Structure 1
């Protein structure tokens, strides 16, 4: 595998004295230990966050080692190419990517190449837009959102579709203008959402089943200070509510006191939930007002969290459209 990626051999008797081979094997061993480690916190919740913080630190150190090693390979091949000694009949993956970098440097950056080399586990937590997906308060669902205005089957040279969509449908973010008329008048809309908040380290937590996210539930979850992005997986995921066309008002969401606890006792700025609203249907406005009053907390709604592992460190990447609207559809992924 390393021969294909970097044109290097790291296993065998002839590599025993190689410092680079030793370094590579150490990284592989550390990766195996961390990936295979059992999550004791699942059985002992009281130490869950301590274990999470320790694991996160170890993963950051490991990532730095892996990143440094691959960057070294990139620099080696770049030097060989520049002095004319890098061309070979069977090019490694890095050589191929560097040749693409020469043609499209703005796309094939070193970071892109390293990401491809490090084999990241990308988890798509965005729901697919289909006419049968639920729409808030509707029995009929979202309905048709695409209309063909140019159809190649009817003689047009290209296909062109018209998109008509409710911005609070599917996986989406809310903007402050959704809940506050003054923010609407100030155009504090989806274009103003902080991309730093929407991208970075994140965790997924399991909410006790059959309960809305109240202050008591937040106390039980005991999310420590410093954690800024949390996705709350609830009974909504177990019941697969996003797969049913008819809106289900029994969904789990935040109550006013739960939202207030989050604001007063945590550093969370990105709040994710697995149905169409961050707030429970029993009081859909108050939690929004509490969370979005200061414009620094972003609700992320309609997440697809089936099968996503909880209480492990992720990086979330979430990008809304630049719409002057009170919400925006997003494509959202987790990287483990």
Structure 2
């Protein structure tokens, strides 16, 4: 007698691409922000069976999701936002070397039939160990056009969707007005253009303006 293998057991596992930078004491942060620090509260020794540490960090360290509270005094904390935007079909678009702003012309080649999530790669190699004050950001009009095509989450491989020296945060204000979600500080160096499944769930921090995420892409 022969038996068939259930279909879900026979499928080849889909490749997972980690798009989160490593977080450690040297991880760069926005100038003036709180860097990552860790100390040991307990260590394995006679009379102590475990290692226990404490950490101090800005919720914007590494790959992270901004909450509306970050750019809106009356906005929701990250623990109150819906999770649906942070998981599901996603497109990675390359705009490497685009300059200060991601204009529509930099991504137009890959905007047909967009899924609800778009991540833009601007670096040939992300500077994960140093601060980049000349980072690329989104032009506000680019976010407007993406939203008009049904995009609900935008992401980028730099520290901000706005220029580092911006005082008006025009692209964040577009996000606020259109109720979009945002991921920043991703690492897309080894990710080809194309469609994936995004998984980048924020922590349920009930009063925070952002949350670290372990962002991954899974091949479709």
Query: TM-score when scaled to structure 2?
Result: 0.86
Structure index of larger Rg:
1
- Which protein has the bigger strand share? 2
Query: In the superposition, relative to structure 1, how do residues 255 and 115 fare at CA in structure 2: closer, same or farther (>3 Å)?
Result: farther
Find the residue that maps to 1:262 and give its secondary structure: helix
Find the residue that maps to 2:79 and give its secondary structure: helix
Instruction: Structure 1 unaligned segments of length 5 or more: list them.
Output: 1-6, 9-71, 76-113
Distance 2:9 2:115 in 1: 24
The RMSD of aligned alpha carbons is 2.5
Among 133, 136, 140, the residue aligned to 1:256: 140
How far does residue 201 in structure 1 lie from its aligned partner after superposition? 1.0
2:12 corresponds in structure 1 to 118
How far does residue 289 in structure 1 lie from its aligned partner after superposition? 0.8
Distance 1:115 1:73 in 2: 7
1:74 corresponds in structure 2 to 6
2:102 is the alignment partner of 1:213: yes
2:117 is the alignment partner of 1:229: yes
Q: Is the 8 A contact 1:134 1:142 kept in 2?
A: no
Instruction: Structure 2 unaligned segments of length 5 or more: list them.
Output: none
**Which of structures 1 and 2 has the larger relative contact order (alpha carbons within 8 angstroms, sep 6+)?**
2
Q: Is the 8 A contact 2:140 2:171 kept in 1?
A: yes
- Which protein has the bigger helix share? 1
Distance 2:68 2:109 in 1: 26
How far does residue 282 in structure 1 lie from its aligned partner after superposition? 4.5
Q: Is the 8 A contact 1:193 1:298 kept in 2?
A: no
2:47 is the alignment partner of 1:159: no
Query: In the superposition, relative to structure 1, how do residues 142 and 287 fare at CA in structure 2: closer, same or farther (>3 Å)?
Result: same
Query: In the superposition, relative to structure 1, how do residues 168 and 154 fare at CA in structure 2: closer, same or farther (>3 Å)?
Result: farther
